[in-house]
Structures are given as C-alpha cells and as structure tokens.
Amino acid sequence: MFDLARKWQPEPDWAEARLTGPNLQVRALGRVGQRLVSGDVEGFLARHDLGRDIGALGLALGDRYAVRVARDRLLTVGLSADELPDGWHDEGCAVSTVGAALHVFEASGAGVRDLLARAVTVDPDHPGPCAAMPFGGVMAVVYRHGDAGTLRIHVDRGLASYLWEWFECQPLLAQG
C-alpha cells in the first residue's frame, strides 16, 4: 500500500513559523479571539462600542474591532466569551466562537503591496466593503492592522498549511 502521507510536507510549528525576506515578513499569530456575529450587525456595533466595521484592506486599530465578511455578518476580534456569549441574543444577532476554525497570519513590511499584487485581484487603492476575498488561491479575510504596512489574513485552519506553502514559494520571501 502506498504511503500517501509522505507526499505532504509536515505542518509547520505555528508558534515558531516565520518567513523573512528583504522587505517582507510573514508569521503565524497565536491565539486571536475570533467570534462570528450574524444578524443586526449595525446594532451590534453600536451596542459594543466598536465604531465602524473594517472592509477589504481596511485599517483596524487596537485589540478590539469588527471586520465585515458579508452583508449581515462580522468577524469580531478581541471580544471575550464573558462579554459576548455564544448563541442568539435578543438584540437580533447570533454569536459563534470561531477561533479554532480560523488561522491568522500577519504580513508586514514594505513588500506588503507587492504581496497583495500577487495574492488578490482587488485594487488596493479602491477596495470593497467586504474583507472576505480570494487570497493566494483560497478564501480569506484580509485587512490591515495597526498601520498600512501590516496585513492580517484569517484563513480556514484546514487551509493554513497550503497558504504557508504558497507564502514560501513567493520570491518576496526566503525562509528565515
């Protein structure tokens, strides 16, 4: 019988995973509190004092924010289960913890714009309202965090190894 497992690269040690090029660094982020909110998202944003949601390649600041992933759906970052429990809320929204379902990568440096040119079909100067988009061949949630030179990429955990291999193949990066 063939050992098909030998065809695949082992999954990286995400705690240590880091790629470094002359103008770009990519790393896997550890535990990022992620919760999916569906329903009355405008009311949710107002009730939790999150301001406006972030769209495609938008800039998120701080540890607590919301990213638009569909017309009536947000990915929130930094809200705890104590302040926002899972389930239906009488205010008109449903909340689900998705931290184990989504893996988060962070890319930073002057080469971020070049990485975007390889990974997405969105015009970085005129992005849309929804941060969910194809990135490097897989669906992801993509936005800037902290400054214009830092991207966060949330991808289904099962596709994280694929996306990591995609990063490794980019001429912008050399394994460091």
User: pLDDT tens, 87-109?
Assistant: 998 889 999 999 889 999 999 99
Q: How far is CA 66 from CA 27, 47, 127, 138, 155, in A?
A: 22, 13, 17, 21, 16
Same domain, 112 and 160: yes
pLDDT band at 134 (very low <50, low <70, confident <90, very high): very high
Same domain, 25 and 75: no
Per-residue confidence (pLDDT) for residue 30, from 0 to 100: 84
Per-residue confidence (pLDDT) for residue 176, from 0 to 100: 47
Per-residue confidence (pLDDT) for residue 11, from 0 to 100: 84
Neighbours of 63 (CB within 10 A): 10
User: pLDDT tens, 61-82?
Assistant: 999 999 999 999 999 999 988 8
- The last residue of a domain, from among 97, 121, 152: 97
Is 157 within the bounds of a domain? yes
Is 113 within the bounds of a domain? yes
pLDDT band at 4 (very low <50, low <70, confident <90, very high): low
Q: How far is CA 175 from CA 19, 27, 81, 133, 144, in A?
A: 5, 11, 37, 26, 23
Domain that holds residue 89: 34-97
Look at phi and psi of residue 148 and say left if phi exceeds 0, alpha if psi is from -120 to 50, else beta. alpha
Quote the mean pLDDT of the chain.
91
* pTM passes above 0.75: yes
Is 12 within the bounds of a domain? no
pLDDT band at 32 (very low <50, low <70, confident <90, very high): confident
Percent of the chain with pLDDT over 90: 72
Is 25 within the bounds of a domain? yes
Compute the radius of gyration of the chain from its Cα atoms. 17
Same domain, 171 and 105: yes
Domain count, the chain: 2
- The tally of CA atoms less than 13 A away on the side-chain side of residue 39 is 14
Is 144 within the bounds of a domain? yes
